[in-house]
Structure 1
Amino acid sequence: MLLIYIKLLMTAVFWGGTFIAGRMLAGSVTPFAAAFFRFVFASGFLFVIVMRRKEKIVPGDRWQLLSVILLGMTGVFAYNALFFNGLKLVTAGRASIIIANNPIVISVLAALFFRETLSPVKIAGILISVSGAVVAISGGHPLALFSGGFGVGEFMIFGCVLSWAAYTLLGKRVMSTLSPLTATLNAAVVGVLALVIPACLEGMPGAAPGYTLTDWISLAYLGLFGTVLGFVWYYEAVRAIGPSRASLFINFVPISAICLGHMILDEPLTPSLLVGAILVVSGVTLNHLPTAGMPRLGSRQAT
């Protein structure tokens, strides 16, 4: 079980690194093109791994096929489309605050549809962890992030939250019949097919030959670490400890992004970062305290 939590923490670091890679790509690769090549690389890496492990590649029935299509459309296409387009209208800080609500949405939906325990202790842990992400990203002034209202861009970023919640909860069902590798491979392929048209409309075919070596290294990082290892390990954690607890580790992503930004891009470390990190770790710890005898909130038969 300890290995699961180590993998979850490393997944957060990998996903935090995608922000660094994304910043390095921002000046030369368009959003849909970056997403497209990310999942082209990911599909290739996943195919090799699946072949070496001799796992099933193609879904075995219509339900599995429909499930992986939904995974690809929610966790790959919809998330990236909403995220990159939302960032045209919303600053990174505001977007990060909205996305930090992922664990809350997932926990509530998991309680409703999967009968996961949503005790007061777990709720407190989630709120503390999210608060830590808010403090770290906002520089200690969280209210300043919401001073401009909630517009179209914010709704797009909130759509990312819903897309990821759907991806996470659907993944729990899919993994009852498919391995994480097979599910992730098929979701990545679906994402590639869905992303190719908007990427071409952005001018990807003509621009790709001009990408630099740094661009391709960044894209490969996004594909291997940000997608293959990240998605597979996240899937394994969802199956082992449930979507609510697994999703809580998403709050480490902005923390790791800030730390990597300091190490790689010389961005400053601030007191708000340290306070935020302490709150996130405290929230994760509180969320894993025994809840025997605590009331279950929002539990119902899965549908």
Structure 2
Amino acid sequence: MQADDGSGGRAWPKAGDLYLIASVFAWGVNFPIAKLVLDYMPPLVFSASRYFAASAFLFALLALRGDSLKITMTEAVRLFGIGLLGIALFQGGWAYGLSLTSASKASILVATSPVFAIFIVTVMGEKTSLKAWLGVFVSLFGVAIIINNSFSEITIGGGSLIGDLLIIGAAAVWAIYTVVSGPMVQQKGPLLVTAWAMLFGACILTAVDFNAIAAQQWTAIPTKGWIAWSMTALLGAALAFVWYCSGIVRLGVARGMAYSFLIPIIAIATSILFFEETMTWIQIAGVAVVMGGIQMARKN
């Protein structure tokens, strides 16, 4: 699939870059906020409820724009599959994994998704240069520096093996979702595809653990919990998914997914601003490595 960045040859940043920067910013901010929400509800309840809300928001946007919400039976089957991958399997695995492992380990493990993606598109026949491969691994190394925060020892720890494996599995599923959803997004547009995929995915999550959703004590959730949940539903789910799909369609999988390496950086920055954490010179060096890797992959 030949990507069209919609730029007409203009210099960076192009439309695809801006969409992806917006999406990874939303997801980076979402990471520590989601950890807070998981204190008040189980992982599948959190994922199902926020994607029902996100899909309702996107359907409302489509209706306000006067766009048709209709899909054919064939399209429904394809969208069900996209929802299964990008919402049910990825978000379910991510939320469960995040609840079982440390946030630092989860940040670096989920950042392996571009590695899976570039391998998939290469197998499918998309031409990916050696420089793009190198850029992806350079960025991944930069993420490791940021999370480890040391040049002399391994400091990443905490959590469980099951949690780590769930996060890695979710990263692989996200790569598959990115590749599979691309043709549908080009055909029907990111808003419609994301709205239906989120609705189908939320229904799957509800069917998997309906008892937990029915037993959830919604009135016991404090105001700060609802504010955090609302942010993850509207910014981290609805808008971020639409922006991400819009960017990937314009830049292609290999170049576009390289921006995913910015998510841990933004997550750490959010923690610094709102949770009084600090950033060291080692982590700043890691940011520089990540940015250099993204630039290498971006020029593929």
TM-score normalised per structure 2: 0.88
Flag the 1:261–1:204 CA change in 2: closer, same or farther, 3 A. farther
For residues 134 and 145 of structure 2, what CA distance do their matches in structure 1 show? 16
2:36 corresponds to 1:10: no
Runs (5+) with no aligned partner, structure 1: 292-303
Q: 2:221 aligns with which of 196, 204, 211?
A: 211
2:65 corresponds to 1:53: yes
Alignment check: 8 A CA contact 1:37 1:219 kept: no
Shift in Å at residue 142 of structure 1? 9.2
Alignment of 1:70-149 (within 5 A): 70-113=81-124, 115-140=125-150, 144=154
Q: Does 1:221 align with 2:256?
A: no
| Partner SS state of residue 33, structure 1 | helix
Alpha-carbon distance in structure 2 between the residues aligned to 1:197 and 1:81: 12
Q: Aligned AA for 1:93?
A: S
Q: 1:177-199 CA distances to partner (integer Å, 9 max, x unpaired)?
A: 21111100001101211122445
The amino acid of 1:226's aligned partner reads G
Range that drifts further, 143-152 or 200-209: 143-152
Equivalent position of 2:11 in the other structure: none
The letter for the 2-side match of 1:138 is: N
> In 2, Cα distance between the equivalents of 1:20 and 1:162?
22
Count the aligned residue pairs: 288
Distance 1:147 1:29 in 2: 25
C-alpha contact (below 8 Å) 1:94/1:145 kept by paired residues:
no
Q: For residues 215-256 of structure 1, what are the alpha-carbon distances to aligned partners after superposition, in whole Å with 9 as ceiling and x for unaligned?
A: 222111111111121111111111111111111111101100
Aligned counterparts of 1:21 and 1:218: Cα–Cα separation in 2: 6
RMSD: 2.2
Q: Match for residue 156 of structure 1?
A: 166
For structure 1, which segment, 280-289 or 81-90, has the greater mean C-alpha deviation from structure 2 after superposition? 81-90
Q: Distance in 1 between matches of 2:38 and 2:283?
A: 24
Distance in 1 between the 2:240 and 2:152 partners?
Answer: 29
Identity %, equivalent residues: 22
Q: Aligned AA for 2:232?
A: L
Contact 1:58–1:182 (CA under 8 A) maintained in structure 2 = no
Q: Which amino acid aligns with 1:103?
A: P
Structure 2 residue matching 1:176: 3-state secondary structure: helix
Partner of 1:202: helix, strand, or coil? helix
1:30 aligns with 2:63: no
Unpaired segments of 5 or more residues in structure 2? 1-6, 8-13
Cα deviation for residue 149 of structure 1 reads 12
Please give the secondary structure, in 1, of the residue aligned with 2:90: helix
